[in-house]
């Protein structure tokens, strides 16, 4: 069934099946530019996180999120194509916050620290920041069920390369001029391992995964 996206400002009644259709890859959402619109969008994403933490991913519906955010479902559809788009956007928003924490940590790393120690420290900050967001693991699982794996190889939304990897190498290995394809591969490889760590609950498995992530990170840094 082809999904018809109503223009911003139009409110229509939608069936449950229409709300739950997976968005087409080229689906276009409204991008807010004004303060009020930005606040509305942010409140909707906050509501998604609140529902995930309190009730789980299955409880996230456009109706429930709109109600919690204090807006109409029609308003929600001005910013998000459907439920899947809402979940993906909420996931991306948590990643942006994690990346921002790492970017700030990168700025304050002492000048005398070695590249391997700096890499370990940033990895720890990333994992700690991810675990400090109660909704992140649940949103991560939802993202993996919706977004195809191949999308990781062209995913520039997270900012990991532009705000962490590239600035890290520019500071600690300024003579290095890494191939963008290799940087992207590193991002995908480490991202996959980190995702697996974050959704793993067994403490022993988590400890082993953390060691593996660190080992792959240090090997990749050396190769770069």
The pTM of this model reads: 0.81
Of 105, 91, 181, nearest in space to 136 by CA: 91
Whole-number average pLDDT of the chain: 84
Contacts for 46-53: CB closer than 8 Å, 24+ residues apart: 48/86, 48/87, 48/90, 48/135, 48/139, 49/90, 49/94, 49/133, 49/134, 49/135, 49/139, 50/135, 52/90, 52/134, 52/135, 52/138, 52/139, 53/134, 53/135, 53/138
pLDDT of residue 44: 98
Of 171, 169, 153, 158, nearest in space to 224 by CA: 169
pLDDT of residue 4: 34
141-192 confidence digits (pLDDT tens) = 999 999 887 776 555 657 888 899 989 999 998 887 878 888 888 888 899 9
Higher pLDDT, 174 or 72: 72
Higher pLDDT, 7 or 64: 64
Contacts for 127-130: CB closer than 8 Å, 24+ residues apart: 127/194, 127/197, 127/198, 127/210, 129/97, 129/98, 129/101, 129/102, 130/94, 130/98, 130/194, 130/198
pLDDT of residue 154: 58
16-53 confidence digits (pLDDT tens) = 333 333 344 334 455 555 888 999 999 999 999 999 99
Q: Please state the φ and ψ torsions of residue 160, each to the nearest 5 degrees.
A: -60, -45
What is the average per-residue pLDDT within 96-119? Answer: 95
pLDDT of residue 23: 40
Assess whether pLDDT exceeds 70 at residue 195.
Answer: yes
Q: Are 68 and 104 in contact (CB under 8 A)?
A: no
Read off the tokens for 58.
């299955």
């Amino acid at each position: 069934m082809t999904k018809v996206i109503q223009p911003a400002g139009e409110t229509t009644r939608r069936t449950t099946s229409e709300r739950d259709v997976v968005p087409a890859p080229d689906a276009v959402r409204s991008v807010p530019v004004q303060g009020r619109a930005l606040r509305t969008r942010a409140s909707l994403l906050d509501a998604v996180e609140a529902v995930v933490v309190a009730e789980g991913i299955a409880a996230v519906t456009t109706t429930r999120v709109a109600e919690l955010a204090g807006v109409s479902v029609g308003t929600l559809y001005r910013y998000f194509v459907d439920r899947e788009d809402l979940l993906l956007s909420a996931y991306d928003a948590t990643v942006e916050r994690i990346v921002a924490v790492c970017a700030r940590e990168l700025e304050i790393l002492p000048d005398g620290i070695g590249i391997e120690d700096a890499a370990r420290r940033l990895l720890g900050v990333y994992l700690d920041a991810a675990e400090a967001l109660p909704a992140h693991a649940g949103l991560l699982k939802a993202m993996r069920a919706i977004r195809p794996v191949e999308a990781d190889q062209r995913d520039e939304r997270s900012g990991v390369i532009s705000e962490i990897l590239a600035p890290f190498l520019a500071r600690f290995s300024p003579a290095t001029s890494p191939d963008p394809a290799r940087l992207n591969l590193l991002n995908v490889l480490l991202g996959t391992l980190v995702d697996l760590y974050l959704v793993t609950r067994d403490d022993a498995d988590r400890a082993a995964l953390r060691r593996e992530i660190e080992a792959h990170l240090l090997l990749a840094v050396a190769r770069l």
